[in-house]
Chains A and B, each alone.
Chain A
């Protein structure tokens, strides 16, 4: 029983990370129909920004702030203006191809311009361990959970309680109508991209102490983001969060109670089942299809 709790707790901690990444992914899809195949690399990159700034001599807290700002500029603004905008008028497919190429580009850039070796990364909280219900969890994992929950709550408040948030939601649901109503659709879309950049930067700062800064981090994290977002529900932020948590726990449980060689298979099978049987995910609203 003790092992089960351990798995649950560790799974929730990992799942919280997946949730953070999946939320941004969902938001981008909802507001601008962008499937960002480079989302995993978006999480990998800010850690390298921060390491580079620290190599130039800055203390960690300053480097982290600069890293977030750089992320917002590069992964938010530049991404939207240089890559997404020119492609959107051509449809979804060229954008998908572009983001696939972008993920390759970012990965190679990190490897060539920084290092192919894994780099240690400083933690936000000192790494000690606590006993919770008989299971051992590190303070890092608790910090991740705490930050993830805070972020989700803040996001919820933003989207539902502020004018800005409601405008963003309106843009996501029906851009034409939103425009008629006087909402500056273009600006709302931009805000979504910037928001995603902030989320991935935060996720990066939280995960990299555990994962170590490595150019291949994006592969696993990106896949986890897609799985979490789809299983939970592509068109709801809550869905992404639930999807992330389920994924984290499921991965751990399947590794222990089922086969370890096939541990990667179970989330995939669930993904296929969800898409075929309930494409809008566990929490999503059913999307109407226009002819």
Chain B
């Protein structure tokens, strides 16, 4: 009887795995994202930015007359499940795939999309992603190999620091950033006097602040996720850290300011994607997002949003739904807001799929992020 149960289950499973046929009047753009587990915050932000873009595009008639059919799949922040989802999606011959965000899941999915020659637009920032020779991988945010030199230059020229302390979160995001950062520091002869790793989800930073304080560096580079940044800033203020705190969007963003309160004042850093950029299109996007979803989106939301418009623009340029032609057209393309207003800022994509775009140096003053300087594209 148990064996019959086994048999019945397998048959039922078979039925559940055979996918329905797709209508010709839609185009399938599935998204494989971290909707639960450790990456839930990043994945859900990316998803919401993406959903808003899809709603807007579908309201205007879709891409080349076909509405976007968006399939949403959860990787549960696990590589094995990511791979399963990518496999599932590839079985249905999608046009383009969006996501994942976590670098580990991205790498495992790349193995499959490369074989299938389907373009993939990811949210991961690890340098390795665009260095593997995948012919159709793209991203809508800076790789760490591009953002770290900018920060390093700022530390050398703007702060004029000779020694630096690094605080980083021990996941693929934080470690990748820290590795790239240390490399840039070495290239500029700036000594890393403290290298402090923290855990994802950590709440008590007193020990880490003590270590950093006793290292007495000229500047402190903080590379953790938003919530941990907020907790760290509070502890740093409490223990009276004087050296400048430098970071990226995950240190200067609206969300961190909201959670850290006064402790965020004085923090400086490089922001690639931020809802606080002094660009009207970005501000309008941020307002629309807030009204639609009731929270302030982080940089992952912008990644998701611009990714969909990137797909729309390139597909329309090619004129048909051809995955190979998509990749060819997308390499080397530059999209400006005149052509596509919802790309928000002019951006170019190189032959590896990396993005080149203006970015900003910011500082938190009186609870607001102020842009101090605009850093132009590297390729101009």
On whether the two chains bind one another, the answer is: yes
Collect the chain A residues with CB atoms within 8 Å of residue B214's CB.
3
When C-beta atoms are compared, the residue in chain A nearest to B239 turns out to be A136
In the complex where A3-B210, A6-B210 touch, is A212 in contact with B204 (Cβ < 8 A)?
no
Collect the chain A residues with CB atoms within 8 Å of residue B41's CB.
116-117
A260 touches B259 (CB 8 A): no
**Other-chain residue from B40, B227, B238 in contact with A129 (beta carbon distance below 8 A):** B238
CB contact list, A79-121 vs B, under 8 A: 108, 111, 115-118, 120
Collect the chain B residues with CB atoms within 8 Å of residue A211's CB.
203, 231
- Complex CA distance for A264 and B196, rounded to whole angstroms: 14
The verdict on B92 contacting chain A, using a C-beta distance below 8 Å, is: no
The verdict on B36 contacting chain A, using a C-beta distance below 8 Å, is: yes
The verdict on B65 contacting chain A, using a C-beta distance below 8 Å, is: no
**Other-chain residue from B40, B207, B226 in contact with A252 (beta carbon distance below 8 A):** B207
| Stretch of A179-187, A214-222, A231-239 contacting B (4+ beta carbons < 8 Å) | A214-222
The interface residues of chain A, by DSSP majority, are classed as: helix
B210 touches A212 (CB 8 A): no
User: When A and B form their complex, what is the total count of cross-chain residue pairs whose Cβ atoms lie within 8 Å?
Assistant: 77
Q: Count of B residues near A, CB < 8 Å?
A: 32
- Complex CA distance for A120 and B256, rounded to whole angstroms: 11
Collect the chain A residues with CB atoms within 8 Å of residue B259's CB.
118, 120, 212
B208 touches A118 (CB 8 A): no
Shortest A101–chain B CB gap in Å is 15
Collect the chain A residues with CB atoms within 8 Å of residue B206's CB.
6-7, 10-11, 252
Collect the chain B residues with CB atoms within 8 Å of residue A264's CB.
199
Collect the chain B residues with CB atoms within 8 Å of residue A138's CB.
238
Collect the chain A residues with CB atoms within 8 Å of residue B199's CB.
263-264
B295 touches A117 (CB 8 A): yes
Shortest A179–chain B CB gap in Å is 41
The verdict on A275 contacting chain B, using a C-beta distance below 8 Å, is: no
The verdict on B117 contacting chain A, using a C-beta distance below 8 Å, is: no
Collect the chain A residues with CB atoms within 8 Å of residue B29's CB.
none
In the complex where A3-B214, A264-B199 touch, is A212 in contact with B258 (Cβ < 8 A)?
no
Collect the chain B residues with CB atoms within 8 Å of residue A65's CB.
none
Shortest B114–chain A CB gap in Å is 31
CB contact list, A2-18 vs B, under 8 A: 3, 6-7, 10-11, 14
- Complex CA distance for A163 and B239, rounded to whole angstroms: 47
- Complex CA distance for A6 and B198, rounded to whole angstroms: 18
Collect the chain A residues with CB atoms within 8 Å of residue B207's CB.
7, 10, 251-253, 255-256, 260, 263
CB contact list, A188-228 vs B, under 8 A: 210-212, 214, 216-217, 219-220
Shortest A219–chain B CB gap in Å is 7
- Complex CA distance for A255 and B203, rounded to whole angstroms: 13
Collect the chain A residues with CB atoms within 8 Å of residue B210's CB.
3, 6-7, 256
**Other-chain residue from B203, B230, B240, B295 in contact with A115 (beta carbon distance below 8 A):** B295
A118 touches B227 (CB 8 A): yes
Shortest B265–chain A CB gap in Å is 15
Bitwise interface map of A from 226 to 268 toward B, beta carbon under 8 Å scored 1, else 0: 0000000000000000000000000111011000110110000
When C-beta atoms are compared, the residue in chain A nearest to B198 turns out to be A260
When C-beta atoms are compared, the residue in chain B nearest to A255 turns out to be B207
- Complex CA distance for A253 and B214, rounded to whole angstroms: 14
Collect the chain B residues with CB atoms within 8 Å of residue A108's CB.
36
In the complex where A108-B36, A120-B259 touch, is A252 in contact with B227 (Cβ < 8 A)?
no
A252 touches B204 (CB 8 A): yes
- Complex CA distance for A111 and B74, rounded to whole angstroms: 14
Extra pairs beyond A136-B239, A211-B231, A220-B203 (6, CB < 8 Å): A7-B206, A117-B41, A117-B255, A255-B208, A260-B198, A260-B208
7 tightest CB-CB pairs across the interface, nearest first? A10-B206, A255-B207, A252-B207, A118-B227, A116-B40, A211-B203, A3-B210
Jot down 29 A-B pairs with beta carbons below 8 A, ordered by A: A3-B213, A6-B206, A6-B210, A7-B207, A10-B206, A10-B207, A115-B295, A117-B44, A118-B227, A120-B258, A138-B238, A210-B203, A211-B203, A211-B231, A212-B203, A212-B230, A214-B227, A216-B201, A219-B201, A220-B201, A220-B202, A251-B204, A252-B204, A253-B207, A256-B210, A260-B196, A260-B197, A261-B197, A263-B207
B: residues with CB less than 8 A from A are 36, 38, 40-41, 44, 170, 196-199, 201-204, 206-208, 210-211, 213-214, 226-227, 230-231, 238-240, 255, 258-259, 295
